[in-house]
């Protein structure tokens, strides 16, 4: 099997890897998702249980193929999967009650539960196609979203019998219980309702998008199909009106949570305390439109009033961290950027206002807070590695091994799960660390992922005076003598990394190298793991610094490896990486001879509010930031660009999915028009029916092959 086909078929080697872990309150049960093989996209629900006699047993709870459901998904579920970049099918999301006795999930828009003690799966009646079902903590009810409304499934006959469904909140023109676009895409808040620990109330979002601009996503290859309306809050325009209420399941009484929404319109996090004895402790985090201030509120669920517990502020923006804020007993746990903690500042774990992590540690996420402490992920002096840690009330303890890698961590009831990828092994390792209350010990969880057809051999580099982190990959058959054309393969922007200590993450770059290139992958300023000053250096300009860092890294790498041919350099990328690739041939055509720009943002006024305004402000307030960062001007003309030499015009290929509702196809289409008007030749590959994540297997396979052929011709590299 060719590598491009394997990469597509395995969904970039994610299939067969255990994921989405959930725990019983006592840590005895661990539920997770996993497909049966590395090329099988149908994901099943699994359980590993630690029995009272000390035995550990693993079994499949739900095989979706046995339920004979299709993939006719409701629009809300399709949107959720696109926001989450979900590429699998079958059971791709689930939720449990407190004891992990009852599991709820949706298949093909149909509502199912599985009762673990009796091993019983039941399909239930619903109000319509089901999205995001979640059991109450006591397992007596299941809430779910259908269309714009929130509904409740009652289980009067118990968990092994079909229940009865009823509407809880339905209002014309309003969505209840669903995360709006910017929350799911940019804030990483993917849900819109939260059960209270007493199982008698639900905190739920009310989303009014009536004033959000309507865009139309059409497929020109199917002109007989109507365009799909899409509410898209472009930079400088109106966001959704998001409110929060607490609703009683018994009588429907609704308490609206009150905060200054004009000052802080963004609702970024909602969390109940898991302890039923403090059921009224509802924590709400809100953010100003300019994102320079975040308030952490405690809401009184009896009258809706809120009090400010803590305010976080920054002159550029306040970063939102997954899992924070939370509570460790009665102590408020936050993650805060401390400018004076270490040379570039630190993203610190803070408990009741006191930093408990050392200067230089950069917290990535908060996983869990329980009696054993606070579990979180972080990087230390090596930003290419992410590890799990627990602060136990006195000190910070690392979880797992000391081998540098990238760890995905889950925790509950004192039991931890670590799925760790390294550059030393082709597959990640997954293991459960049982709670001390269960006697401790470890249990491996099988990984069914495929081993890549190529063996990545990155040379990890620290480049230039800014110590940019990079990986250089040479052809596997390189004899060490000839010059090598260079392919820059970055993401290059904020909020994401490409240079990580994972063999799988480097596999595609290694295959590209094997096609006759020296592939250089570099994370520039703005990437996470290097501290708040590093990330905020992009504020007000998304073009100049990212491009300069790639060019400086290229020069520094050439000093370490003189065989790099700086006369034959290309760049490829997707999303921000696609933007950066197009930017490179327009503003540095003397350095970059060819580029493949996939799904590029070309006009930042056409990207969403929360992401764009974080870095650039609003178009009205900071027009100069948009002028310097966009590839096209306000009238559709080509933006700032260097002349292309007549005797050596760069080659540019634009690629865009026409069904993309995140970076809409207008970005590439408008750039193509501007290039044509300016007399600059280029190629444009439109992808019918393809979204931002290109999940179709044939498309993904051929797309990689076409890019390589284009780059080989552009840099005069013999095909292999």
Query: What is the rounded distance in angstroms from the CA atom of residue 467 to the CA atom of residue 347?
Result: 19
Percent with pLDDT over 90 in the chain:
90
Residue from 211, 181, 187, 286 nearest 243 by CA? 286
Residue 272, token pair as written in the block: 């109940």
* Cα→Cα distances 479→130, 444, 453, 502, Å: 57, 40, 21, 25
Q: What is the pLDDT of residues 116-149, one digit of tens each?
A: 999 999 999 999 999 999 999 999 999 999 999 9
pTM of the model: 0.96
Q: What is the pLDDT of residues 406-430, one digit of tens each?
A: 999 999 999 999 999 999 999 999 9
The domain 171-320 having CATH identifier 2.140.10.30: the answer here is yes
Judge contact between 176 and 152, C-beta under 8 A: no
Q: What is the pLDDT of residues 446-471, one digit of tens each?
A: 999 999 999 999 999 999 999 999 99
Confidence bin at 436 (pLDDT 50/70/90): very high
Note if the bond before 325 is cis, omega within 30 degrees. Answer: yes
Judge contact between 526 and 494, C-beta under 8 A: yes
Lowest mean per-residue pLDDT among 169-173, 274-278, 498-502, 657-661 = 274-278
Q: What is the mean pLDDT of residues 516-537?
A: 97
Q: What is the mean pLDDT of residues 342-356?
A: 96
pLDDT of the residue at 277: 61
Residue from 524, 454, 465, 463 nearest 489 by CA? 524
Query: What is the rounded distance in angstroms from the CA atom of residue 680 to the CA atom of residue 683?
Result: 10
pLDDT of the residue at 80: 87
pLDDT of the residue at 281: 83
626 vs 275, higher pLDDT: 626
pLDDT of the residue at 646: 85
pLDDT of the residue at 275: 63
Query: What is the rounded distance in angstroms from the CA atom of residue 96 to the CA atom of residue 76?
Result: 21
Q: What is the pLDDT of residues 231-260, one digit of tens each?
A: 999 999 999 999 999 999 999 999 999 999
Residue 563, token pair as written in the block: 């065989």
Whether residue 591 is predicted with pLDDT greater than 80 in this model: the reply is: yes
Q: What is the mean pLDDT of residues 178-193?
A: 96
Judge contact between 560 and 536, C-beta under 8 A: no
pLDDT of the residue at 85: 87
* Cα→Cα distances 93→107, 429, 491, Å: 10, 22, 28
Where would I find the H helices in 603-682?
A: 609-616, 623-629, 666-677
Judge contact between 598 and 561, C-beta under 8 A: no
Lowest mean per-residue pLDDT among 71-80, 331-340, 479-488 = 71-80
pLDDT of the residue at 280: 72
Burial class (CB within 10 angstroms; exposed 0-12, middle 13-18, buried 19+) of 310: middle
Strands 164-169 and 354-355: unpaired
Q: What is the mean pLDDT of residues 656-674?
A: 96
pLDDT of the residue at 229: 93
- Enter the CATH code of domain 459-714: 3.40.50.1820
Judge contact between 33 and 19, C-beta under 8 A: yes
Spatial strand order in the sheet of 281-287: 266-272, 281-287, 293-300, 306-313
> 191 — phi, psi (to 5°)?
-130, 170
Query: What is the rounded distance in angstroms from the CA atom of residue 554 to the CA atom of residue 623?
Result: 31
Whether residue 547 is predicted with pLDDT greater than 70 in this model: the reply is: yes
Q: What is the mean pLDDT of residues 559-572?
A: 97
Q: What is the pLDDT of residues 310-334, one digit of tens each?
A: 999 999 999 999 999 999 999 999 9
Whether residue 278 is predicted with pLDDT greater than 70 in this model: the reply is: no
Domains of the chain, residue spans:
171-320, 322-448, 459-714
Please check whether the two domains, 171-320 and 459-714, share a CATH topology: no
Residue 223, token pair as written in the block: 């002109």
Q: What is the pLDDT of residues 373-395, one digit of tens each?
A: 999 999 999 999 999 999 999 99
Confidence bin at 12 (pLDDT 50/70/90): very high
Burial class (CB within 10 angstroms; exposed 0-12, middle 13-18, buried 19+) of 631: buried
- What does the mean pLDDT of the chain come to? 95
- Which residues contact residue 330 at a Cβ distance below 8 angstroms, ignoring those fewer than 6 apart? none
Whether residue 68 is predicted with pLDDT greater than 80 in this model: the reply is: no
Q: What is the 3-state secondary structure (H, E, C) of 190-208?
A: CCCEEECCCCCEEEEEEEE
Whether residue 279 is predicted with pLDDT greater than 70 in this model: the reply is: no
363 vs 220, higher pLDDT: 363
Burial class (CB within 10 angstroms; exposed 0-12, middle 13-18, buried 19+) of 311: exposed
pLDDT of the residue at 693: 83
Whether residue 276 is predicted with pLDDT greater than 60 in this model: the reply is: no
């Amino acid at each position: 099997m060719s590598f491009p086909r394997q990469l597509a078929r395995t969904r970039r080697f994610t299939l067969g890897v255990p994921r989405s872990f959930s725990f019983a309150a006592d840590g005895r049960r661990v539920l997770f998702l996993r497909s049966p093989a590395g090329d099988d996209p149908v994901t099943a629900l699994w359980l590993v249980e630690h029995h009272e006699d000390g035995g550990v047993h693993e079994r499949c709870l739900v095989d979706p193929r046995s339920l004979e459901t299709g993939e006719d998904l409701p629009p809300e579920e399709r949107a959720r999967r696109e926001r989450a970049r979900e590429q699998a099918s079958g059971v791709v999301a689930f939720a449990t009650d407190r004891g992990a006795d009852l599991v709820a999930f949706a298949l093909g828009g149909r509502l199912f539960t599985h009762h673990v003690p009796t091993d019983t799966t039941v399909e239930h009646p619903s109000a319509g196609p089901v999205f995001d079902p979640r059991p109450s903590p006591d397992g007596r009810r299941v809430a779910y979203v259908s269309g714009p409304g929130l509904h409740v499934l009652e289980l009067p006959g118990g968990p092994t019998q079909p229940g009865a469904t009823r509407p809880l909140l339905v209002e014309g023109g309003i969505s209840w219980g669903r995360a709006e676009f910017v929350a799911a895409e940019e804030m990483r808040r993917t849900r819109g309702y939260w059960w209270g620990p007493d199982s008698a109330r639900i905190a739920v979002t009310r989303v009014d998008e009536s004033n959000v601009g309507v865009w139309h996503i059409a497929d020109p290859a199917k002109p007989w199909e109507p365009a799909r309306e899409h509410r898209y809050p472009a930079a400088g325009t109106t966001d959704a009106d998001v409110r929060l209420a607490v609703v009683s399941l018994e009588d429907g009484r609704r308490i609206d949570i009150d905060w200054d929404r004009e000052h802080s319109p963004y609702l970024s996090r909602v969390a109940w305390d898991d302890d039923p004895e403090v059921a009224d402790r509802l924590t709400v985090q809100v953010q100003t439109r300019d994102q320079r201030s975040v308030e952490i509120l405690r809401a009184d669920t009896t009258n809706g009033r809120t009090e400010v517990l803590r305010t976080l502020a920054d002159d550029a923006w306040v970063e939102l961290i997954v899992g924070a804020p939370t509570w460790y007993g009665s102590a408020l746990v936050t993650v805060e950027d401390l400018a004076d903690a270490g040379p570039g500042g630190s993203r610190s774990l803070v408990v009741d206002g006191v930093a408990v992590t050392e200067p230089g540690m950069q917290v990535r996420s908060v996983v869990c807070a329980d009696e054993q402490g606070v579990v979180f992920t972080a990087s230390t002096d090596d930003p290419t590695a992410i590890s799990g840690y627990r602060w136990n009330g006195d000190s910070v303890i690392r979880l797992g091994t000391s081998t540098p890698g990238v760890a995905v961590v889950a925790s509950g009831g004192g039991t931890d799960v670590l799925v760790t990828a390294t550059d030393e092994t082709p597959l990640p390792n997954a293991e459960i660390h049982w709670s001390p209350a269960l006697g401790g010990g470890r249990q491996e969880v099988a990984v069914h992922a495929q081993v890549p057809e190529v063996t990545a051999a990155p040379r990890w580099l620290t480049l230039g005076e800014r110590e940019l982190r990079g990986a250089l990959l040479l052809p596997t058959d390189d004899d060490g003598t000839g010059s090598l054309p260079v392919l820059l393969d970055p993401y290059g922007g904020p909020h994401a990394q490409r240079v990580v200590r994972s063999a799988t993450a480097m596999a595609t770059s290694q295959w590209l190298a094997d096609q006759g290139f020296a592939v250089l992958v570099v994370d520039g300023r703005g990437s996470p793991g290097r501290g708040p000053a590093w990330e905020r250096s992009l504020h007000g300009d998304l073009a100049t610094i990212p491009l300069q860092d790639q060019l400086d890294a290229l020069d520094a790498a050439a000093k370490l490896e003189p065989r790099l041919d700086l006369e034959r350099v290309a760049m490829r990328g997707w999303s921000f990486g696609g933007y950066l690739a197009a930017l490179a041939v327009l503003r540095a055509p003397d350095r970059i001879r060819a580029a493949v720009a996939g799904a590029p943002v070309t006009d930042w006024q056409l990207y969403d509010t929360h992401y764009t305004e974080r870095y650039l402000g609003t178009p009205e307030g900071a027009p100069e930031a948009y002028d310097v960062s966009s590839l096209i001007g306000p009238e559709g003309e080509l933006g700032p660009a260097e002349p292309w030499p007549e005797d050596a015009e760069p080659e540019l290929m634009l690629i865009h999915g026409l069904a993309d509702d995140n970076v809409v196809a207008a970005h590439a289409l408008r750039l193509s028009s501007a290039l044509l008007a300016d007399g600059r030749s280029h190629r444009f590959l439109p992808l019918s029916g393809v979204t931002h994540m290109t999940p179709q297997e044939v498309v993904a396979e051929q797309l990689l092959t076409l890019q390589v052929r284009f780059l080989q011709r552009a840099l005069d590299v013999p095909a292999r």
